[in-house]
Structure 1
Amino acid sequence: MILVTGATGTIGREVMSRLGPEAEVRVLAREPRRVDTVSGAVEVVRGDYGDPRSLEYALRGVLGVFLVTARVGGRDDADFLRAARSAGVRHVVKLSAAAVTDSGADDLITRWQRDTEELLVGSGMDWTLLRPRSFMSNTLSWAGSIRAEGVVRVLYGSSANACVDPRDIADVAVRTLTEPGHEGRAYTLTGPEAITAHEQTAQLSEVLGRPVRCEELEPEQARARWGERYPADVVEALLGSAGRQRDGAKLRVEDTVREVTGVPARSFREWVRDNVAAFGPR
């Protein structure tokens, strides 16, 4: 039995959809009605990392886990890993981030990710760490302004990031969950090239068949925009991450997707073509 967490999120949803009917799959969700299962063989159970009884039930008979946590600085990883070890889980595949390998990254989010990795590595269970660069799907946040104004507004739009297709992350996750030999490995996952927001905007414009322009934000403008959505310490972490990208920390391309799956990583243009409807009229 494989347990998938984060199945209503970007990566967890893709992982769940890729675990075929031959796999026994259980999904842990705080809101089961939001889980869009593609197979009747998938069991969805209600639970929360902070509810030990729900974890005990969800982990019963589970040997492998795809673990996603998002509450920065919380106890979700510690509580889950304690329950998983008690339940006899053998292998945990954790979604982390490439920033943990950046020597200059010391923001709140990256420190939390490093801490949660250490918890897993020291848990006594087999582990695999997935460390992706930014998701290509993050550009979906541009959809509203593209529809309304034909504009993308970004901070440091000329800086490049080797962003990765969420489907490639999920493909790697499924391999590590269902094949031997990935225990004790940490995989940095990127797309096939480092690409700037200006270049992404140009490709979006081409695929959409209409003009889309990219406008630069000043740091204070970005701080104000992000401050409408996130706590102040998270905003500062995002600004720090953008600064590292400006300084070239996110340029490196890895061939890990091909090495693990046998298939090259998808390009941003491929991602756009497959998701073009998300940027069009509602």
Structure 2
Amino acid sequence: MILVTGATGTIGREVARLLAGRTSLRVLARDPGRVSVPDPAVRVVRGSYDDPSSLERALRGVRSAFLVTNDPRRDHDTAFVEAAAAAGVRQLVKLSAAAVADPAAHDLITTWQRGNEHLLEDSGLAWTMLRPRAFMSNTLSWAAGIRATGQVRALYGSSVNPCVDPRDVAEVAVRVLTEDGHTGRRYTLTGPAPLSAVEQTAELAKVLGRPLRFAELDPGQARERLLARYPADVVEALLHSAGRQRDGDKSRVEPTVEELLGRPARTFATWASDHAAAFA
């Protein structure tokens, strides 16, 4: 039995979709109505990291679990790891972040993820860490502006990041969950090339067949926009991360996706073509 958490999010949803019908699968979700998997045999357990009894129900009989957490101000990883150990789970696959390996990254989010990794390493359970760079799907936040004005506004438009297709991350997760030989490994997952926001805008323009303009935000404008969506401490973490990208700290391409999947990592052009309807 495999348990997937985060199945209403970008990666967990795809992991659950890929596993459905291939193996005995269970999903933990706060809102089961938002979970969609193409297999009626998949059991969706209502629960949360804050509810120990729901974790106990979800983890009963589970061999491996895919762990996704997203709130750096809550100790959800500890709650899940303790419940998994008590339930006899043998393997945890953790969605972490590439920045964990960068000693210069000391923002709130990276420090939290680094602590989560240490927690798993000390848990006594078999573990594998997945450390993706930025998701290509992050550009979906530009969709409203593209539709309304044909304009993309972002911070540090010329800074580059080898962003990764979430589908590649999910396929790696499925491989790790269903194969032996990945215990104790830390996999940094990137796309095939470093790209800037200006270059991504140009790729989207090609796919959409219409001109798009890029307008760079200054840090103050970016902070104001982010504060409308996130708490102040998270905003500062995101701005710190953007500054490291500006300084070139996130430009390295890793071959891990191709090594694990036996094919090249998907390009941003492919991702954009497959998701063109979201911007049209």
- TM-score w.r.t. the length of structure 1 is 0.98
Q: Tell whether 2:208 aligns with 1:208.
A: yes
Question: AA paired with 2:4?
Answer: V
Matching of residues 152-231 of structure 1 within 5 Å:
152-231=152-231
Q: Which residue of structure 1 lines up, in the alignment, with residue 233 of structure 2?
A: 233
Q: Distance in 2 between matches of 1:217 and 1:138?
A: 17
Q: Tell whether 2:150 aligns with 1:112.
A: no
In structure 1, runs of 5+ residues without a counterpart are: none
Q: Which residue of structure 2 lines up, in the alignment, with residue 257 of structure 1?
A: 257
Residues 197-220 of structure 1, C-alpha deviations (whole Å, 9 max, x = no match): 000000000100011111000000
Q: Distance in 2 between matches of 1:160 and 1:252?
A: 9
Pairs aligned (count): 280
Q: Tell whether 2:62 aligns with 1:59.
A: no
Question: AA paired with 1:218?
Answer: D
Q: Distance in 1 between matches of 2:121 and 2:16?
A: 24
Q: Distance in 2 between matches of 1:103 and 1:86?
A: 33
Residues 102-130 of structure 1, C-alpha deviations (whole Å, 9 max, x = no match): 12110011100000111111111000000
Question: AA paired with 2:148?
Answer: A
Q: Which residue of structure 1 lines up, in the alignment, with residue 246 of structure 2?
A: 246
Q: Distance in 2 between matches of 1:20 and 1:44?
A: 12
- Using the TM superposition, give the Cα deviation of residue 20 of structure 1 relative to its aligned residue in structure 2, in angstroms: 4.2
Q: Distance in 2 between matches of 1:73 and 1:123?
A: 21
- Using the TM superposition, give the Cα deviation of residue 73 of structure 1 relative to its aligned residue in structure 2, in angstroms: 2.8
Question: AA paired with 1:19?
Answer: L
SS in 2 for 1:18: helix
Q: Which residue of structure 2 lines up, in the alignment, with residue 94 of structure 1?
A: 94
Q: Distance in 2 between matches of 1:273 and 1:103?
A: 36
Q: Distance in 2 between matches of 1:103 and 1:55?
A: 33
SS in 2 for 1:152: strand
SS in 2 for 1:264: coil
In structure 2, runs of 5+ residues without a counterpart are: none
Q: Which is further off, 156-165 or 38-47? A: 38-47
- Using the TM superposition, give the Cα deviation of residue 37 of structure 1 relative to its aligned residue in structure 2, in angstroms: 1.4
Matching of residues 143-158 of structure 1 within 5 Å:
143-158=143-158
State, as a whole percentage, how many aligned pairs show the same letter: 65
Question: AA paired with 2:34?
Answer: R
* Runs of 4+ with >4 A deviation: none
SS in 1 for 2:176: helix
Question: AA paired with 1:104?
Answer: A
Question: AA paired with 2:74?
Answer: G
Question: AA paired with 2:142?
Answer: W
- Using the TM superposition, give the Cα deviation of residue 4 of structure 1 relative to its aligned residue in structure 2, in angstroms: 0.1
Residues 51-94 of structure 1, C-alpha deviations (whole Å, 9 max, x = no match): 11111100011000000001113110000100000000000000
Residues 228-276 of structure 1, C-alpha deviations (whole Å, 9 max, x = no match): 1111111111110000000001100001001111121000000001110
